[in-house]
Structure 1
Amino acid sequence: MNLQPILGNFALILFVAMVITGIIWCLDVFYLAKKRRAAANAALAEYDARTAKLTANGIKVDSNDHARAALEAGLLRQPTWIEYSGSFFPVIALVFVLRSFLWEPFKIPSSSMVPTLLVGDLILVNKYAYGVRLPIINKKIIDIGNPQRGDVMVFKYPKDESQDYIKRVIGVPGDKITYENKRLTINGTPVQYEPMDDYLDNEHPVYYKQFLEKLPDTAHRILNDDTKPPLDYGGVENFPHRESCTYSYDKFTCIVPEGNYFMMGDNRDNSADSRYWGFVPDKNIVGKAFLVWMNFSNLKRIGGIH
């Protein structure tokens, strides 16, 4: 699922805007404002001298503090381009810091994570759950934690890192993942499935088989489409560490390489994921999805992501 950033793909744009407005703000604070102040002081001194000279020559001059203040204000006034830059700089800087290090909003555009996430859900992603990373280059500088099985994670699509994807973590480094007859086995232990009521997909609309999938660390709902095979073998691509996986037409087994993660969509038969395009390296991690903060078509969607 290619996510749609709420703010757009603006990390670089925001950074450039922040740098430009910040330079203008600093230039004004440390140079231009002082220059305007000096010019105002010189003009006021000339104004006061002229007034004093007229008074000394016996010419009565009415004190006009308002005119003097207006003269000073006009000389100290910021040019419009500096005023707008100074106003925008703190706002841009705040947005940049929030979306780079704390939380970033996205919009769900497709159904690969149904029933957990629906089309139109507006979600928040925790950017520091798996470590603090430098914006733009996404390099981890502080290690806080690692993805766990069952986490709903946003990451840069390995085939095109300009795109953000969202899936569920199924395998962590070292795990042996087997998928057969639409059932998972992790490290030799079959995952337990609890049948639930069929799920009506209003987008199409069709009914899907729904199960509670009980991973070793968490439980969540998944969907199966009885009209589709367990694996579309023709859709399997070449990818890094492809030798770690063994495929047949209805089954595969993969051992997750060190520093990588195996991802799957909850809408299992309608999700292009690690089964087809491979593992997600740690360097591609964006963050952990934790909240649906709005869905304009269904306000009941607001709440935590499990």
Structure 2
Amino acid sequence: MNYKFWQRKKDTPKKKKTKTREWVDAIVFAVVAATIIRVFFIEAYTIPSGSMERSLLIGDFLFVSKVNYGARIPMTPVAFPFAHHTMPLTTSTKAYWDGVQWKYHRLPGLSKIKRNDVVVFNFPEGDTVAVENQEDSYYNLVRNLGREQVRSTFTIVDRPVDKRENFIKRCIAIPGDVISMSNGVAAVNSKPEPLKNTGMMPYRITFKSTEFNINMLTDIGLETGTMQQAGDANSYIANASPEMAEKLKALDFVASVELSPDPVGPEPGGVFPHDPKRAWNRDNFGPIKVPSKGWTVNIDSTTMPLYYRAIRTYEGNKVEQVNGVWYINDKPATTYTFKMDYYWMMGDNRHNSADSRYWGFVPEDHIVGKALFVWMSWDSAASFLHKIRWSRLFMGIH
């Protein structure tokens, strides 16, 4: 009797895999390997809007590192491979099952988020079905109809955090910083942070006469088709970078070039924190302190409009006010200590970006990764031979 029946006989011929089995094994291995790479190392993204121009252009394809800030463990682990929140070729069929939700955890990273890093993160305010994937459309509706009417009219889908739309912006302020903005110039900890040459703001361009060389404006990079007349026949408002503004000033037919921010006063539809007592707009707001893990804030009528959403929604507390007294988890509260770090994100194309100026802080559990470089850039509006922007291939993102 063979008492080692569990051991395979050496002379037993190995069963040969069928072609079908070989293909199945190869596909399963490829899917698992690619998923691990996407979740824990690096993932490809595309730029759908102009909110980061001129740093990133519509049609840029880029790689985002999960290693730099530490890979986030999937919070919705049961999901269809290579799909974000909807199944391929559909617009509403979910590509995940939210019956299983894991708490937020992140692996150790190479560094923390630094000021001016270009960061990919999940949209912190939820998604509006009517304007899905069009970040600026939602806020145009807010300006025209008012925030409350938009949110009561359209269906809001509260997806799991890691299944919300991916946004890409520049980190302007990190945890503990004080951010403000005056006449279109941001200041961090009272130090002005002028827009980089890759960013865009409206400028008032005054020409010496009504006749000027429009081709020279186009050569500088100005989108002349979007220029708007401003007051008199010689003046126009155009979106430009600081570098473009300096080139404009050097033209002999240009009289002056001046930054043209929104004047001080409330913006239609409101900006963060949507507090009627604060007459802020996208070019004039603050100061606001960005919460950091372990920071304790005094709770009162001044601070709660700024930190209410972070305390209630992002940190999962029950928050209510009864007879002028704030309660957190049914206990009277005069202070609150934050459990997470937060960030202030803004687009480089300042007047064409829905960002922290409208929805406030980005919590650390929404962070996806750091944008590294552009591996392909496709200009859909160009002619056939010029659709690939060759100069942008493998360009680092700064």
Does the alignment reach a TM-score above 0.5? yes
The CA distance in 2 between the partners of 1:283 and 1:233, in whole Å, is: 30
Structure 1 or 2: more helix by fraction? 1
More strand by share: 1
Q: Does 1:156 align with 2:125?
A: no
Q: Distance in 1 between matches of 2:223 and 2:176?
A: 35
Residue matched to 1:210: 241
**1:295 maps to 2:377:** yes
Match of 2:267 among 233, 236, 252: 233
Equivalent-residue separation in structure 2 for 1:122 and 1:195 (angstroms) = 21
Equivalent residue for 2:105, pick from 124, 139, 152: 139
- Show the 5 A alignment for 1:230-269: 233-236=267-270, 247-249=279-281, 251-253=284-286, 254-258=288-292, 259-269=341-351
Which amino acid counterpart does residue 167 of structure 2 have in structure 1?
Answer: Y
Larger radius of gyration: 1
8 A contact 1:199–1:210 mirrored in 2: no
RMSD across aligned C-alpha pairs, in angstroms?
A: 3.5
Give, in whole Å, the separation in 2 of the partners of 1:266 and 1:102. 26
TM-score by length of 1: 0.63
Question: In structure 2, how many angstroms separate the alpha carbons of the residues matched to 1:287 and 1:107?
Answer: 14
- CA deviations 1:168-217 (Å, max 9, x no partner) are 00000111111111011111122246889964248x655423126xxxxx
**CA distance in 2 between partners of 1:230 and 1:182 (Å):** 10
**Aligned equivalent of 2:363, options 268, 278, 281:** 281
Gap change, CA 1:201 and 1:135, over 3 Å in 2: farther
Structure 1 letter corresponding to 2:359 = W
- Give the stretch that moved more between structures: 224-233 or 165-174: 224-233
Is residue 44–residue 63 contact of structure 2 (8 Å, CA) maintained in 1? yes
Q: Could you tell me how far apart the structure 2 residues matched to 1:234 and 1:301 are? A: 37
1:84-103 Cα offsets, whole Å, 9 max, x none, are: 32011221122112111111
Letter in 2 for 1:190: P
Task: Look up the match of 2:192.
Answer: 190
Residue 142 of structure 1 aligns to a residue in which SS?
coil
SS for the counterpart of 1:131 is: coil
Number of aligned residues: 224
Determine the structure 2 residue equivalent to 1:20.
none
Which 5+ residue runs of structure 2 have no aligned equivalent?
1-7, 77-103, 127-160, 199-216, 228-237, 244-257, 293-340, 379-386
SS in structure 2 at match of 1:291: strand
Q: Secondary structure at the match of 1:106?
A: strand
Letter in 2 for 1:122: F
Give distance in 1, aligned partners of 2:260 and 2:116: 24
Given that residues 182 and 230 in structure 1 are in contact (C-alpha distance below 8 angstroms), is that contact kept between their aligned partners in structure 2? no
Deviations 1:275-297 (A, max 9, x none): 00111001110011010000133
Task: Give the Å deviation of 1:132.
Answer: 2.9
Cα offset for 1:234? 3.0
Deviations along 1:99-144, one digit per CA (max 9) or x if unpaired, are 1111110010110000000000001101111123223456203243
Q: Give the AA of the match of 1:179.
A: M
More displaced stretch, 118-127 vs 133-142: 133-142
Contact 1:208 1:225 in 2 (8 A): no
Q: Does 1:272 align with 2:343?
A: no
Distance 1:211 1:106, change over 3 A: same
**1:287 partner SS:** strand
Q: Secondary structure at the match of 1:293?
A: strand
Shift of 1:262: 0.2
AA paired with 2:343?
Y
Task: List alignment gaps of at least 5 residues for structure 1.
Answer: 1-33, 42-71, 213-223
- Per-residue deviation, residues 257-280 of structure 1 (Å, max 9, x unmatched): 110000000000110100001110
Q: Decide whether the 8 Å contact of 1:130 with 1:146 is kept in 2.
A: yes
